[in-house]
Amino acid sequence: MPPSEFTLIYRYFSALGRGAAVDLSVGDDCAILRLAPGERLAASVDTVVEGVHFPADSFPEDIGYRAVAVAASDLAAVGARPLGMTLALTLPEADEFWLHSFSQGVAAAVSEYELPLVGGDTTRGPLAVTVQVLGALPADRALLRDGAQSGDAVYVSGTLGDAAAALAFLNGTWQPPAAAGEYLLQRFHRPRARIALGRELLERGATAAIDISDGLLADAGHIARASGVKICIEPDRLPLSPALRTGVTQAGVSREQVLRWALAGGDDYELCFCLPPTQPAPADCTCIGRVEDGSGLDWGNDAGIDIDAGYQHF
Ligand code: ADP
Ligand code: MG
């Protein structure tokens, strides 16, 4: 007889629920989390669907890690301290090999982000993973999209375009050298939520921030719109990984295609943020432009590169 829903939950998920803010974890009708006096609760939810957000043949361990990282990235973007998460899992069948591997990916993210799994729901259906994240913010501060000021410097963390290049590799559009391909696939399957950076930016008085899920142009565009400013991006300054650069130098990919991945690719889960010009650059971050009076984005599109703005489901 296949194991019951409760046996599965107990076996794979109930050990991941301990954390500093957790009063009650998996097993009752609700979890109970503790906020420090004066703190506010930050909440966000993200669903990933097989065949839409990740390829159908992804390793279950990567699916688990990535689902949590993608959701936790929203906590990073507002500068919240992780408190805990819940996981709604829809599975076509109770495949224990799959569940074991998936839960190991979830466990890696739980420990990396100090984000205990405090509850969830388990149902049968086409594979989909929903992660709700909960975090704590001080009473008087959050990194939002609407605070960018003319004169601010615009930054991104890490490198851009890697995940889009990985998807193009998976689709057979190009063939990177083996080591570069490995690296890029890792960047797609194991994005890093920039939790520590988000908290640092909150301390430093960053004026606006967003995580790059839909592509730099789409997401920086959200900051420009919400803040009522123009954001000017210099494409030559975009940080590219050595693996992506090999596309241009060794794999016959045009510079234009690489720029398209970096500007519009999405799935990198880096942070784009604005800092007053007096602030030094945080570690592992690159200044890519500045905020000006006006509206919209200016990325030198007179260069004639044709770019679709970010991914839209409908
Ligand atoms: P209820 O019927 O009250 O919603 P469930 O039977 O759905 O309760 O779940 C029982 C317990 O197991 C709850 O504490 C719930 O939060 C937890 N749970 C269910 N599915 C998961 C999951 N995929 N991951 C973590 N906890 C889960
Ligand atoms: Mg339930």
Residue nearest to atom 27 of ligand 1 (CA): 120
Residue at 148 is within a domain? no
**116 in a domain, yes or no?**
yes
| pLDDT tens digits, 95-104 | 999 999 999 9
Find the 97 Cα to ligand 1 centroid distance in Å. 20
| Position 279 in a domain | yes
147 lies in some domain: no
Domain assignment present for 289? yes
206 and 61, same structural domain? no
In a domain, 197, yes or no: yes
* Cα–Cα dist 63/88, whole Å: 13
User: Considering the domain boundaries, does residue 144 fall inside one?
Assistant: no
- Within a domain: residue 146? no
For residue 275, the enclosing domain spans 153-309
Instruction: Supply the CATH number for residue 103's domain.
Output: 3.30.1330.10
Give the ligand at the shortest distance from the Cα of 9: 1
Rounded distance between C-alpha atoms, residue 195 and residue 82, angstroms: 8
Q: Tell me if 9 CB under 6 Å of ligand 1.
A: yes
Helix pair angle (242-249, 162-170), 10° resolution:
60
| pTM score of the predicted model | 0.94
Nearest CA owner, ligand 1 atom 16: 119
- Token pair of 189 as six digits: 């399957």
Which residues make beta-bridge pairs with 156?
272, 286
**How many angstroms is it from 121 CA to the middle of ligand 2?**
5
Determine the average pLDDT of the residues in 298-302.
81
User: Which residue's CA is the nearest one to ligand 1's atom 2?
Assistant: 29
What are the residues whose beta carbons fall under 8 Å from the beta carbon of 233, sequence distance 6 or more? Answer: 154, 216, 217, 220, 263, 288, 289, 297, 298, 299, 300
Asked whether 13 lines ligand 1 (CB < 6 A), one says yes
Question: What CATH number did the domain enclosing 252 receive?
Answer: 3.90.650.10
Unique residue bearing structure tokens 């007889």: 1
Same domain, 21 and 130: yes
- Using one digit for the tens of pLDDT, what is the confidence trace for 231-246? 999 999 999 999 999 8
Q: Is the pLDDT of residue 39 over 60?
A: yes
Nearest Cα to Cα of residue 208 among 260, 147, 249: 147
- Claim to verify: residue 120 and residue 205 sit in the same structural domain: no
| Planar angle of CA 88, 93, 98, nearest 5 degrees | 80
Judgement on whether residues 250 and 279 belong to the same structural domain of the protein: yes
Q: Please give the tally of structural domains in the chain.
A: 2
Under the banding of pLDDT at 50, 70 and 90, the label for residue 303 is: low
The tens digit of pLDDT for each residue in 171-181 reads: 999 999 999 99
Domain-ending residue, one of 109, 138, 167: 138
State the residue for tokens 């501060």: 141
Q: Which of 109, 281, 69, 287 is nearest to 194 (CA)?
A: 69
The alpha carbon of residue 122 and the mean position of all alpha carbons in its chain are separated, in whole angstroms, by 24
Residue 276: CB within 6 Å of ligand 1?
no
Report percent pLDDT > 70 for the chain: 96
**Residue 223 and residue 97 share a domain:** no
